[in-house]
Structure 1
Amino acid sequence: MQCRICGSNGEHRHYVAKEMMLGLRDEHRYFQCADCDCLQIEQIPANIADYYPDNYYSYSNATKAGNPLKQALTKLRDRYEVTGNCLIGRVMHLWMPNAKLATLRPLKLNQDTRILDVGCGAGHLLHSLREMGFQNLLGIDPFNQADIAYPNSLRIEKRDIFSETGEWDVVMFHHSFEHLPNQRTNLGQAFNILKPGGVALVRVPTVSSYVWQEYGVNWVQLDAPRHLYLHSIKSMQALAEQAGFLCEQVVYDSNALQFWGSKQYEQDIPLRDPRSWAESPENSLFSAEQVREFETRSRELNALNQGDQAAFYLRKPA
């Protein structure tokens, strides 16, 4: 098959991966490009929507009632993650970090920065930003059941990036880009709606990682068939250049999931299984100490540029 990223017709490696998040275990064929190393599904299932049930994790409502003190401390934590400022927030970060928000720090955001989050689900990240005082935010996701209007005035709209005509400072894809079938046109549209000098932040799983080499088709973030493209650093940079971007920075931000999730899959334990660490830690294969060790190992791999996910900071030339 021809690589959809670089066009190569080389001797690609082929793999068969099972659906293991939901535990359906049906098989899907992938190939890894011999030239750019991008791992991609051979054929997108005609019923791909069926693999996103109503309880899919990104659909859960971002508004949570809770202890007012905890909410206040969480807001301070979030402020530290985004800005690097706030002493109390730093202490909270050490206790319960929010790595997703921390990937925004290199963007040097201010409360007037215009931010579009593509494929945001219920908009958890944007909701945190809105609670911190950010004003110009919009989330879009065509797979949501309907538009969402939060009490804090945040709006999440049921539509895709091609319907967007505004101009943005930042366009973000937080683990949504790997779900998109038309990689070039989606990234190209992000380029079109960014202001000159604006940034596309693309966070994706990557095959340029230790766990892909170690676990192969049992790698938890292969996530067949929802993940249509598992980029290498080389293929993501090539795609960015095709769209007109300059790839300014790549930051690995993997976590313990890469280990406990992949080890579960080796034992035929789906992510949503009652024996999964995600569902009931007390019934899982792992102790809390083991998971902490996985987290430590993940930080070590990130420092070596070998974690299983990375954030790409792509700038549109001014």
Structure 2
Amino acid sequence: MQCRICGSNGAHRHYVAKEMMLGLRDEHRYFQCAGCDCLQIEHIPANIADYYPDNYYSYSDATKAGNPVKQALTKLRDRYEVTGKCLIGRVMHFWMPNAKLATLRPLHLTQASQVLDVGCGAGHLLHSLRELGFHNLLGIDPFNQADIAYPNGLRVEKRDIFSEQGQWDAVMFHHSFEHLPNQRTNLGQAFNILKPGGMALVRIPTVSSYVWQEYGVNWVQLDAPRHLYLHSVKSMQALAEQAGFITEKVVFDSNALQFWGSKQYEQDIPLRDPRSWAESPEHLLFTAKEMREFEQRSRELNAINQGDQAAFYLRKPA
């Protein structure tokens, strides 16, 4: 097959991966490009929407009622994650970090920044930003059941990026880009709707990682067949260049999931299985010591650019 990223017709490596998040275990064929190393599904299932059930993790309501003191401290923590400022928030960060929000810091957002989150599900990240006083926010996701209007004014609309005509300071894909079938046109549309000098943030799993080499098709973030493309750093940078972007920075931000999830798959235990650590941590599939070791190993791999996910910061020339 021809690589859809770089066009190579070389001697690609082929793999068969099972659907393991839901535990369906049906098989899907992938190939890894001999030229740019991008791992990509051979054929997208005609029923791909069936692999996103109503209880898919990103669909849960973003509003959370709870202890007012904890909510106030969480807001301070979130402010620190986004801005790098707030002493109390910094303390809270060490207690309960929000790694996803922290990836926004290099964007240097202000409360007036116009931010579009593509494939945002229920809009958890945007909801946190809205609570911090950011007001020019919009989330879009074609897989949502309907539009969402939150009491704090945030809107999440059921549509894709090609219906967007506005001009944005930042366009974000937080683990949604790997689900998109037309990689060039989607990133190209992000380029089109950014203001000159604007930034695209693309957070994705990557095959430029230790765990892909170690676990192969049992790698938890392969996530067949939902993940249509598992980029290498090389292939993502090539795609960004094709779209007109300048890659300013690549930051690896993997976590312990890459280890405990992949080890579960080796044991034929899906993420949604009652035995899974994600569903029932009290079952002690992994000890607290093992989980700490997974987190430590993840930090070490991120430091040497070998974690299993990365954030790509792409700038549109001014």
For 2:108 and 2:49, the matched residues in 1 are separated by: 36
Aligned to 2:99: 99
For 1:72 and 1:256, the matched residues in 2 are separated by: 28
| Matching of residue 227 in structure 1 with residue 227 in structure 2 | yes
Aligned to 1:134: 134
Task: Let me know the Cα RMSD of the aligned residues.
Answer: 0.5
For 1:301 and 1:183, the matched residues in 2 are separated by: 27
| Matching of residue 160 in structure 1 with residue 160 in structure 2 | yes
Aligned to 1:246: 246
- Counterpart amino acid of 1:5? I
Aligned to 2:64: 64
- Counterpart amino acid of 2:298? S
For 1:149 and 1:30, the matched residues in 2 are separated by: 38
Deviations 1:36-78 (A, max 9, x none): 0000000000000000000000000000110000000000000
For 1:77 and 1:227, the matched residues in 2 are separated by: 31
Aligned to 2:10: 10
For 1:282 and 1:117, the matched residues in 2 are separated by: 34
Answer yes or no: is the 8 Å Cα contact 1:276–1:284 preserved in 2: no
Deviations 1:89-122 (A, max 9, x none): 1111101100000000011111000000000000
Aligned to 1:115: 115
Aligned to 1:19: 19
Aligned to 1:186: 186
For 2:205 and 2:175, the matched residues in 1 are separated by: 8
Which runs of structure 1 show a deviation greater than 6 angstroms over 4 or more consecutive aligned residues?
none
> Which secondary structure state, in structure 2, belongs to the residue aligned with residue 138 of structure 1?
strand
> Which secondary structure state, in structure 1, belongs to the residue aligned with residue 236 of structure 2?
helix
For 2:292 and 2:276, the matched residues in 1 are separated by: 16
For 2:225 and 2:14, the matched residues in 1 are separated by: 15
- Counterpart amino acid of 1:314? L
> Which secondary structure state, in structure 1, belongs to the residue aligned with residue 16 of structure 2?
strand
Moved more, 276-285 or 95-104: 276-285
- Counterpart amino acid of 1:261? G
Aligned to 1:202: 202
For 2:280 and 2:40, the matched residues in 1 are separated by: 32
The residue correspondences of 1:34-45 to structure 2 (distance < 5 A) are 34-45=34-45
| Matching of residue 125 in structure 1 with residue 128 in structure 2 | no
Alignment coverage as a number of residue pairs: 318
For 2:155 and 2:288, the matched residues in 1 are separated by: 37
- Counterpart amino acid of 1:16? V
State the TM-score, normalizing by the size of structure 1: 1.00
For 1:77 and 1:35, the matched residues in 2 are separated by: 43
State the TM-score, normalizing by the size of structure 2: 1.00
Aligned to 1:172: 172
For 1:151 and 1:210, the matched residues in 2 are separated by: 43
> Which secondary structure state, in structure 1, belongs to the residue aligned with residue 30 of structure 2?
strand
Answer yes or no: is the 8 Å Cα contact 1:252–1:305 preserved in 2: yes
- Counterpart amino acid of 2:70? K
Shift of residue 180 of structure 1? 0.1
> Which secondary structure state, in structure 1, belongs to the residue aligned with residue 117 of structure 2?
strand
% of aligned pairs identical? 89
For 1:291 and 1:227, the matched residues in 2 are separated by: 25
Deviations 1:149-184 (A, max 9, x none): 000000000000000000000000000000000000
- Counterpart amino acid of 1:206? T
Uncovered stretches (5+) of structure 1, i.e. residues with no partner: none
Shift of residue 284 of structure 1? 4.0
Answer yes or no: is the 8 Å Cα contact 1:274–1:283 preserved in 2: no
> Which secondary structure state, in structure 2, belongs to the residue aligned with residue 195 of structure 1?
strand
Shift of residue 135 of structure 1? 1.0
